[in-house]
Chain A
């Protein structure tokens, strides 16, 4: 218990004024226990079918990938397994949340959430600054309402002001911004009503356009600076005429479906969840700040619900609602009371993100072993769920595994040149392995280019060889006997020891091939190409 207190004191001191207003958040371990209890009550089948805790090695790989986006090193695994403290799982969660890798990793997640839906590829210029903005905010544990407010109200050069990312991704289009704000911050797909009243939900077309009416003055224009092309998000308070017709209007008009050329109906900025509105003529930033206030208000449960559900889904592998960005209004969550408990805690904590993460990672629901059956056919949350690694995670795991000795192309050996090369390789890698994190897990599939990359990529094959100077070459020298070498290889690649049957198969294979180096290259190849390697389990 006192460890948690020390952690939170340190965390809160580090946060500065932003979160000092929030009261001391409730102890994560206590809330986690309540959450497990509520789950049990809501899903009584759990008591008979729920899996127990996963083993320590599995837990460690899981929590490392989830919180800091990489696998633990062989040393970290060994230390963790040797640690006899009953509290060690909570401790490692706290440590990881305090590591700067945490903000980096989750910034990548939010980058994907926002930019996978970019409607214009030129938005790429703002990706890096958005990632920097998120990493910094997450590491400082800026509360979610503050982050949301910054994103909704951002202005300025998109290369300097990362918070402009969402507006940039939608190129300043009022309707698209409204759609994304609602989807990401409220988990409501109100834009389905953009063209017609929604077939299944109760939002009306007009309500969507009233939401868009918060953004007609939010504009973006291209600009050239010494650093190259960029965009600037700004507030427009006077109409601008194009060559012939009015190019930019100060208010939002709902198009007339029967006559798309007509001006349409003037929309008042009105928030569909509360019905509160602003008069036409309100300046841009007042509109956006007001909307941000209404969205992030503790009285608006959707805001907390969308975030809690998203984080739970990402960490536990299944959501209360799926897909994570489509919560309603008329959909039922799997365990409503459990979700409510988490939401209430999150709100009471002052939208404290690290607190929420700590709670979730401390629940039994998070720590369960994978089921013998497919999770999908089981009672929700009865077992752990293996989920596909994001591109950044695969990249990081491969790099950590093979990097210690792997040289980058010798032709460009200046640090800047190397950094550029790595950045380019990383972008390419993301293109092959990336996916939109809001996509339901069962829609995320492997692809032929991914398989080809892991099977045959010449650079990867080179660093996976057993030549002197590679990871494998060194490992084989350090471990002259086959059995310990296989054990070490499993530990490094899959963060666990081989099972007896696996050891048997591996040794038989090495024996059969004859050439030790060749056999181990094949073994490494097989492990890197395995399902397990590409999943967090």
Chain B
């Protein structure tokens, strides 16, 4: 009886259950029959899922990119430094000279120049911009990627639902209370197969081993049926993944030269190309990181270099997604922890500045060619249309058709909304 109470307490607001709870609900007998579980559970909701299979790519600019050298140049003010502005595909919209390819993609992009937060430390801001919450020791908030994967599952996809490309920075924001199922699958370097994903025996011997494992587990399954069942599912899922033809997504050499040339060279370029290949195969959430934006010194050498690594691949990604009809259902987010100070410090660097910074979006119904908000001529204050972090995440949810008010129950029984407060930036839609 106590157990039933626990199950009920953990039931979601919309009446669905988490997989493990659901399995327990139907009882051990059903749980024992092979593969009855997630797939069937999902199948019952398949129609619903077909309607909302949007996906998301996050281009994470680790370190905090300068808004002045990217989306919000201030060529007429000392704070703008030597950075010039260039015109774009969209009349009247100017961005920094370091992003010429993206200027040509401006009709696909929306830029918010007035995102504002109060968090200026890397780890805390990384957590904030990945979860919409400030970190606390008591609640492990799930990353937005985990939320997307949990809200927009794709039963046909045999790859992990959250893939993170590039080494994790000092802060790894995981799935938090949503559990390991939605933990990011880290691919340290695009172009190389994921760690431990290659079987070292023949496929037939590998299958034979799996068969032996299942057979030998039968004894322990009598003692701990639930554990063995969960373990078997994980192993089936993992084996299905590494034996899946979808794994070829990780092999970039399959792309024609013309496409590889379009994306250009470098880790970030490979990451963007891999992101497209993963999204194509139905992975709900992919994060590609480009580190190095923490330009406390030599901002005017380092940021242009970073922009060169960014410009072509990002532009190619947008064009490529659009060409394949993926852009209309894929939200692409470009952002970092915060922006950088308008004041140029004595080492020609810019320091952390969360008060007013830029975020760029594309796809999934976001109107292209739009600029939201205006910062002052010196870049210090917001003159029009401040956008909070909660507003921003509401906007992501709106684009992805996720209910931002959906409540999760944490292990200590505290209800947590996907986004607490805020309003979506309506001007970006319709």
Using CB atoms and an 8 Å cutoff, list the residues of chain A in contact with chain B: 117-122, 169-170, 176, 179-180, 183, 189, 191-192, 194, 199-200, 323, 325-326, 334, 370-374, 376-377, 380, 386, 436, 439-440, 442-449, 451-453, 455-458, 461, 499, 501-502, 505-506, 509, 513, 518, 522-523, 525-527, 529-532, 534-535, 537
What residues on B are CB-neighbors of A118 within 8 Å? Answer: 137
A374 and B200 contacting across the interface, CB-CB below 8 Å? no
Q: Is B196 an interface residue (CB 8 A)?
A: yes
Question: Chain A interface: which of B147-155, B177-185, B325-333?
Answer: B177-185
A446 and B231 contacting across the interface, CB-CB below 8 Å? yes
B216 and A505 contacting across the interface, CB-CB below 8 Å? yes
Q: Is B209 an interface residue (CB 8 A)?
A: yes
Determine how close the nearest CB of chain A comes to the CB of B145; give it in whole angstroms.
Answer: 15
Determine how close the nearest CB of chain A comes to the CB of B253; give it in whole angstroms.
Answer: 21
Of B180, B205, B220, B223, which contacts A522 at CB under 8 A? B205
Determine how close the nearest CB of chain B comes to the CB of A487; give it in whole angstroms.
Answer: 14
Bound form: Cα–Cα A446–B183 in Å: 11
Determine how close the nearest CB of chain B comes to the CB of A159; give it in whole angstroms.
Answer: 18
What residues on A are CB-neighbors of B20 within 8 Å? Answer: 442, 445
Bound form: Cα–Cα A114–B227 in Å: 27
> Of residues 131 to 187 in B, which have CB atoms within 8 Å of A's CB atoms?
135-138, 140, 160, 170-171, 177, 179-181, 183, 185-186
B123 and A440 contacting across the interface, CB-CB below 8 Å? no
Q: Is B124 an interface residue (CB 8 A)?
A: yes
A-B pairs with beta carbons under 8 Å apart, 9 shown: A119-B136, A373-B28, A448-B185, A451-B234, A452-B197, A455-B238, A526-B209, A526-B212, A529-B235
A122 and B170 contacting across the interface, CB-CB below 8 Å? yes
Bound form: Cα–Cα A502–B183 in Å: 35
Tally of B interface residues using CB under 8 Å: 64
B238 and A452 contacting across the interface, CB-CB below 8 Å? yes
Of B123, B183, B186, B200, which contacts A120 at CB under 8 A? B123
Chain A residue with Cβ nearest B236: A451
Given contacts A374-B226, A526-B213, 15 further A-B contacts (CB under 8 A): A119-B137, A374-B28, A374-B225, A436-B140, A442-B20, A453-B195, A456-B199, A499-B219, A505-B215, A509-B212, A509-B215, A525-B209, A526-B212, A530-B220, A531-B220
A531 and B200 contacting across the interface, CB-CB below 8 Å? no
Question: Chain A interface: which of B306-314, B372-380, B408-416?
Answer: B408-416
Chain A residue with Cβ nearest B225: A374
Of B194, B219, B237, B412, which contacts A189 at CB under 8 A? B412
Of B137, B181, B215, which contacts A179 at CB under 8 A? B137
What residues on B are CB-neighbors of A189 within 8 Å? Answer: 138, 412
> Of residues 190 to 241 in B, which have CB atoms within 8 Å of A's CB atoms?
194-200, 205, 208-209, 212-213, 215-228, 230-232, 234-235, 237-239, 241
Bound form: Cα–Cα A537–B225 in Å: 13
B180 and A447 contacting across the interface, CB-CB below 8 Å? yes
A455 and B199 contacting across the interface, CB-CB below 8 Å? yes
Bound form: Cα–Cα A442–B414 in Å: 17
What residues on A are CB-neighbors of B177 within 8 Å? Answer: 443
Of B194, B197, B212, B231, which contacts A523 at CB under 8 A? B212
Determine how close the nearest CB of chain B comes to the CB of A369; give it in whole angstroms.
Answer: 8
B223 and A448 contacting across the interface, CB-CB below 8 Å? no
Determine how close the nearest CB of chain B comes to the CB of A81; give it in whole angstroms.
Answer: 19
What residues on B are CB-neighbors of A534 within 8 Å? Answer: 231
A372 and B223 contacting across the interface, CB-CB below 8 Å? yes
B3 and A376 contacting across the interface, CB-CB below 8 Å? yes
A456 and B217 contacting across the interface, CB-CB below 8 Å? no
Chain B residue with Cβ nearest A442: B20
What residues on B are CB-neighbors of A436 within 8 Å? Answer: 140
Bound form: Cα–Cα A179–B137 in Å: 8
What residues on A are CB-neighbors of B194 within 8 Å? Answer: 452
B226 and A119 contacting across the interface, CB-CB below 8 Å? no
Given the known inter-chain contacts A179-B137, A191-B138, A452-B196, please indicate yes or no for A535 contacting B227, CB distance below 8 A.
yes
What residues on B are CB-neighbors of A527 within 8 Å? Answer: 216
B213 and A529 contacting across the interface, CB-CB below 8 Å? yes
B209 and A531 contacting across the interface, CB-CB below 8 Å? no
Among A334, A449, A461, residue most surrounded by chain B Cβ atoms (within 10 Å)? A449
Determine how close the nearest CB of chain A comes to the CB of B200; give it in whole angstroms.
Answer: 5
B200 and A458 contacting across the interface, CB-CB below 8 Å? yes
Among B208, B224, B415, residue most surrounded by chain A Cβ atoms (within 10 Å)? B224
Bound form: Cα–Cα A117–B20 in Å: 25
B124 and A192 contacting across the interface, CB-CB below 8 Å? no
Chain A residue with Cβ nearest B241: A448
Bound form: Cα–Cα A200–B409 in Å: 13
Chain B residue with Cβ nearest A191: B138
What residues on A are CB-neighbors of B138 within 8 Å? Answer: 117, 179, 183, 189, 191-192
Among A122, A376, A453, A537, residue most surrounded by chain B Cβ atoms (within 10 Å)? A376
Bound form: Cα–Cα A501–B415 in Å: 48
What residues on A are CB-neighbors of B181 within 8 Å? Answer: 445, 447
B224 and A537 contacting across the interface, CB-CB below 8 Å? yes
What residues on A are CB-neighbors of B231 within 8 Å? Answer: 446, 530-531, 534
Bound form: Cα–Cα A121–B171 in Å: 6
What residues on B are CB-neighbors of A169 within 8 Å? Answer: 137
A443 and B223 contacting across the interface, CB-CB below 8 Å? no
A121 and B199 contacting across the interface, CB-CB below 8 Å? no
Chain A residue with Cβ nearest B7: A376
Q: Is B302 an interface residue (CB 8 A)?
A: no
What residues on B are CB-neighbors of A458 within 8 Å? Answer: 196, 200
Determine how close the nearest CB of chain B comes to the CB of A478; give it in whole angstroms.
Answer: 22
Determine how close the nearest CB of chain B comes to the CB of A69; give it in whole angstroms.
Answer: 20
A192 and B414 contacting across the interface, CB-CB below 8 Å? yes
Determine how close the nearest CB of chain A comes to the CB of B407; give it in whole angstroms.
Answer: 12
Determine how close the nearest CB of chain A comes to the CB of B217; give it in whole angstroms.
Answer: 6
Given the known inter-chain contacts A372-B222, A534-B231, please indicate yes or no for A117 contacting B209, CB distance below 8 A.
no
Bound form: Cα–Cα A326–B411 in Å: 10
Bound form: Cα–Cα A535–B230 in Å: 13
B411 and A443 contacting across the interface, CB-CB below 8 Å? yes
What residues on B are CB-neighbors of A442 within 8 Å? Answer: 20
Bound form: Cα–Cα A191–B135 in Å: 13
B224 and A386 contacting across the interface, CB-CB below 8 Å? yes
> Of residues 106 to 144 in B, which have CB atoms within 8 Å of A's CB atoms?
121, 123-124, 135-138, 140
What residues on B are CB-neighbors of A501 within 8 Å? Answer: 218-219
Chain A residue with Cβ nearest B139: A192
Bound form: Cα–Cα A217–B137 in Å: 20
Given the known inter-chain contacts A121-B171, A374-B224, A374-B225, please indicate yes or no for A443 contacting B212, CB distance below 8 A.
no
What residues on A are CB-neighbors of B136 within 8 Å? Answer: 119, 176, 179, 191, 194
Of B199, B213, B220, B238, which contacts A448 at CB under 8 A? B238
Determine how close the nearest CB of chain B comes to the CB of A411; give it in whole angstroms.
Answer: 20
Of A326, A373, A456, A535, which contacts B196 at CB under 8 A? A456
A446 and B180 contacting across the interface, CB-CB below 8 Å? yes
Bound form: Cα–Cα A180–B136 in Å: 10
Chain B residue with Cβ nearest A518: B205
Chain A residue with Cβ nearest B221: A531
Determine how close the nearest CB of chain A comes to the CB of B25; give it in whole angstroms.
Answer: 11
Q: Is B296 an interface residue (CB 8 A)?
A: no
What residues on B are CB-neighbors of A513 within 8 Å? Answer: 208
Determine how close the nearest CB of chain B comes to the CB of A388; give it in whole angstroms.
Answer: 8
Determine how close the nearest CB of chain A comes to the CB of B63; give it in whole angstroms.
Answer: 14
B137 and A522 contacting across the interface, CB-CB below 8 Å? no
What residues on B are CB-neighbors of A180 within 8 Å? Answer: 137
Determine how close the nearest CB of chain A comes to the CB of B342; give it in whole angstroms.
Answer: 16
Among B199, B219, B222, residue most surrounded by chain A Cβ atoms (within 10 Å)? B219
B216 and A386 contacting across the interface, CB-CB below 8 Å? no
Chain A residue with Cβ nearest B134: A119
Chain A residue with Cβ nearest B177: A443
What residues on B are CB-neighbors of A120 within 8 Å? Answer: 121, 123-124
Determine how close the nearest CB of chain B comes to the CB of A467; give it in whole angstroms.
Answer: 14
Given the known inter-chain contacts A179-B137, A374-B224, A374-B226, please indicate yes or no for A449 contacting B411, CB distance below 8 A.
no
Q: Is B24 an interface residue (CB 8 A)?
A: yes
Chain A residue with Cβ nearest B135: A119
What residues on A are CB-neighbors of B237 within 8 Å? Answer: 448
Bound form: Cα–Cα A208–B231 in Å: 41
A530 and B412 contacting across the interface, CB-CB below 8 Å? no
